[in-house]
Chains A and B, each alone.
Chain A
Amino acid sequence: MTDISQSAAVPGTAPQRPAATLSARLARWLPRLVMAPSFLVVLIGVYLFIAWTLWISLSSSAMLPRYDFVGLEQYVRLWNTPRWHTAVINLFLFTGLFLAVTIALGLLMAILLDQNIRAEGVLRTVYLYPMALSFIVTGTAWKWVLNPELGVEKVVQSWGWDTFAFDWITRPETAIYCVVIAAVWQSTGFAMAIFLAGLRGIDSSIIKAAQIEGASLPRIYASIIVPLLRPAFLSVIVLLSYISIKSFDLVLALTNAGPGGSTEMPSTFMFAYTFQRNQMGVGAASAIMMLMTVAAIIIPYLYSELREDTHGH
């Protein structure tokens, strides 16, 4: 916090000369000036627009924005909509499963890859590449793979296992798990990369010392290394929560919120109500609910993160 005042008092400046005062002032304000444009666009692009959405959610807007005030009517309507309930339940179900599976699998892959594997580079790229692709691109391929008449089920049955069934995507109660499978596929590589980075940052002498003491490898990982990965866990959790709350084209490409609306998510709900159903007010209300959920996750995280940093300095 004190960096700035020190920097303004860099030796060599002569406060009594007006020109120098000016340049000193400039030097003091320069960092803030440099940040100002970024901060300004974020202020407008994020906070002003959030305020706008908040206003719309309190108005009677239907097809186009209407700047009146109807109180919490749209929120009442939102929570009376069964489709929104489905979306909220799916969000928690999806986020929970997606986080658990992606973290477990990503950690496992990182640990396996960290065992001096030959062709590590190739494997890493294979695991990481789905992150490069949008679901606009891979959606059709996934639809085929998951479709019982075209994909995995048919292939396995053609191998002779006649009773094999994998028809989750056809059933409303299981379709959301298919969305999880595809989402895990896309994001595990990223989680793996972060964990791998964390593992590489751990001093290898710790492992050696534990090995000399006779601890088995799985034990060393469970009780020494994984706890050391705490910052990596935090980063992964935050980034994956972000991915899951925003998951939009994933759902659209895979199930289009079907069958029977069973894979609706808040992001698809909001899009449909704002742009297809002419209920912009309800759409805006759902956006505010999403933002509140994000804030509930992020603000505590930010708070703890930034507090630690100030202690560190």
Chain B
Amino acid sequence: MATKSLARQQMLGRLFIYSALILLALYYLMPLWVMVTTSLKPLDEIYSGSFIGLPQEITFEAWSKAWSGACIGTECTGLRPYFVNSIMMVVPAVLLSTGLGALNGYVLTKWRFKGANLVFGMMLFGCFLPYQAVILPMAQVLGRLGLSGSIPGLVLVHTVYGICFTSLFFRNYFITIPDELTKAAQIDGAGFFRIFLSIMLPAALPIIVVSCIWQFTQVWNDFLFGVSFTSGSDTPITVALNNIVNVTTGRKQYNVDMASAMIAAIPTLLVYVVAGRYFVRGLTAGAVKG
């Protein structure tokens, strides 16, 4: 009798847990649902009043227009060239900031020098800088370096502000690796870089994933730096998307807007779907521990 009611209670508990989780999932999926369905509807259907709801007629026209036909100013190239720009920007920026972050984390935990904590604290504070405040001086610096209005300029900017985060990630991770390990390697005659490459990096895989995901998302989604430091055909995809979505006259093409938004979102979505599990695992492995 007692076991039966206990089982019943457990069943009810499971039921509650599952329904709560599914309800929450619906809340999380709602905006995505709106975007996907709208992007598949013909324009007339949208204007006849159904913003939310299944499309009666499915068309991929909006997607192909967003990818290769939509106009920005007098250029009608769609998002394709800007997608390429973003890739050109995001790959070096992520690699550079992650690599430097790993080195910094390594130095800050295993080769501590006088004032290391201060250096780390100063870097960490950089994470919290409101970027609007640095746009103008940064523009002046980029101009001096001859990098203004270019993708390499954006790579530099994202690397500079990305280092703050990646150093934090790696430092908090490496601090959990016992010092004895590196000391033993030192006694065996391994040098600074040798220890880094053959001991630290292989152990750091989870946090490398976390750092890459974080940086990829931040850099890919950035709008402020993109709109400030580039223009015309050199802009990243978020700026191009903003231009498409902000068309203020003419019948607003909501399906193209939504398809463009989806295209701009696919890379980051993919990264989260594919690498999401490593993200949680990486957080477990170190980033949480302060």
Interface residues of A in 1-44 (CB under 8 A from B): 1, 3-4, 6-7, 10-12, 27, 30-32, 34-35, 37-39, 41-44
Report the interface size for chain A: residues with CB under 8 A from the other chain. Answer: 101
Query: Whole-angstrom distance between the alpha carbons of A42 and B175 in the complex?
Result: 22
Write out the residue numbers on chain A whose beta carbons fall within 8 Å of the beta carbon of B131: 246
Are A126 and B25 within 8 A (Cβ)?
Answer: yes
Are B104 and A4 within 8 A (Cβ)?
Answer: no
Report the stretch among A74-82, A95-103, A115-123, A203-211 that lies at the interface. Answer: A115-123
Per-residue contact bits, chain A 229-270, to B (CB 8 Å; 1 contact, 0 not): 001101100000010011011000000000000000011001
Asked if B2 is at the interface (CB within 8 A of a chain A CB), the reply is no
Write out the residue numbers on chain A whose beta carbons fall within 8 Å of the beta carbon of B177: none
Asked if B211 is at the interface (CB within 8 A of a chain A CB), the reply is no
Interface residues of A in 296-311 (CB under 8 A from B): 298-299, 302, 305-306, 308-310
Could you tell me which B residues sit within 8 Å of A by CB distance?
14, 17-18, 20-21, 24-25, 27-32, 34-35, 38, 51-52, 100, 103-104, 107-108, 110-114, 116-117, 119-134, 136-138, 141, 157, 159-161, 163-164, 167, 175, 179, 183, 186-187, 189, 191-192, 217, 221-224, 238, 241-242, 245, 254, 257-258, 261-262, 264-265, 268-269, 271-273, 276-277, 279-281, 283-284, 287-290
Query: Whole-angstrom distance between the alpha carbons of A48 and B129 in the complex?
Result: 12
**23 contacting pairs across A/B (C-beta < 8 A):** A31-B111, A31-B192, A32-B113, A41-B163, A43-B122, A46-B125, A109-B24, A123-B21, A125-B276, A129-B28, A130-B28, A133-B268, A136-B241, A137-B262, A137-B264, A201-B284, A235-B287, A245-B130, A248-B132, A270-B133, A274-B132, A284-B133, A294-B129
Are A151 and B107 within 8 A (Cβ)?
Answer: no
Write out the residue numbers on chain B whose beta carbons fall within 8 Å of the beta carbon of A6: 183
Report the stretch among A140-148, A160-168, A171-179 that lies at the interface. Answer: A140-148
Asked if A220 is at the interface (CB within 8 A of a chain B CB), the reply is no
Write out the residue numbers on chain A whose beta carbons fall within 8 Å of the beta carbon of B268: 132-133
Q: A10-B186, A39-B119 are in contact. Are A138 and B221 (CB under 8 A)?
A: no
What secondary structure prevails in chain A residues at the interface with B?
helix
Query: Whole-angstrom distance between the alpha carbons of A302 and B126 in the complex?
Result: 12
Asked if A50 is at the interface (CB within 8 A of a chain B CB), the reply is yes
Query: Whole-angstrom distance between the alpha carbons of A216 and B267 in the complex?
Result: 44
Write out the residue numbers on chain B whose beta carbons fall within 8 Å of the beta carbon of A48: 137
Q: A50-B133, A109-B24 are in contact. Are A194 and B138 (CB under 8 A)?
A: no
Are B123 and A53 within 8 A (Cβ)?
Answer: no
Are B288 and A27 within 8 A (Cβ)?
Answer: no
The 6 closest A-B pairs by CB, nearest first: A134-B221, A31-B111, A287-B133, A197-B284, A197-B283, A132-B268
Query: Whole-angstrom distance between the alpha carbons of A46 and B14 in the complex?
Result: 50
Q: A126-B25, A127-B28, A142-B31 are in contact. Are A117 and B129 (CB under 8 A)?
A: no
Query: Whole-angstrom distance between the alpha carbons of A231 and B286 in the complex?
Result: 11
| CB of B195 to closest CB in A, whole Å | 10
Contact of A245 among B110, B124, B128 (CB under 8 A): B128
Q: A27-B191, A245-B128 are in contact. Are A4 and B20 (CB under 8 A)?
A: no
Asked if A196 is at the interface (CB within 8 A of a chain B CB), the reply is yes
Asked if A124 is at the interface (CB within 8 A of a chain B CB), the reply is yes
Query: Whole-angstrom distance between the alpha carbons of A198 and B280 in the complex?
Result: 10
What secondary structure prevails in chain B residues at the interface with A?
helix
Are B25 and A7 within 8 A (Cβ)?
Answer: no
Query: Whole-angstrom distance between the alpha carbons of A140 and B257 in the complex?
Result: 9
Query: Whole-angstrom distance between the alpha carbons of A109 and B24 in the complex?
Result: 9
Asked if A291 is at the interface (CB within 8 A of a chain B CB), the reply is yes
Asked if A69 is at the interface (CB within 8 A of a chain B CB), the reply is no
Write out the residue numbers on chain A whose beta carbons fall within 8 Å of the beta carbon of B113: 4, 31-32
Query: Whole-angstrom distance between the alpha carbons of A4 and B20 in the complex?
Result: 53
Contact of B122 among A32, A47, A245, A248 (CB under 8 A): A47
Are A138 and B125 within 8 A (Cβ)?
Answer: no
Write out the residue numbers on chain B whose beta carbons fall within 8 Å of the beta carbon of A224: none
Are B132 and A287 within 8 A (Cβ)?
Answer: yes
Write out the residue numbers on chain A whose beta carbons fall within 8 Å of the beta carbon of B108: 35
| CB of B156 to closest CB in A, whole Å | 8
Asked if A93 is at the interface (CB within 8 A of a chain B CB), the reply is no
Write out the residue numbers on chain B whose beta carbons fall within 8 Å of the beta carbon of A3: 110-112, 179
Contact of A144 among B24, B52, B110 (CB under 8 A): B52
Asked if A185 is at the interface (CB within 8 A of a chain B CB), the reply is yes
| CB of A12 to closest CB in B, whole Å | 7
Are A145 and B269 within 8 A (Cβ)?
Answer: no
Query: Whole-angstrom distance between the alpha carbons of A48 and B144 in the complex?
Result: 16
| CB of B262 to closest CB in A, whole Å | 8
Are A38 and B272 within 8 A (Cβ)?
Answer: no
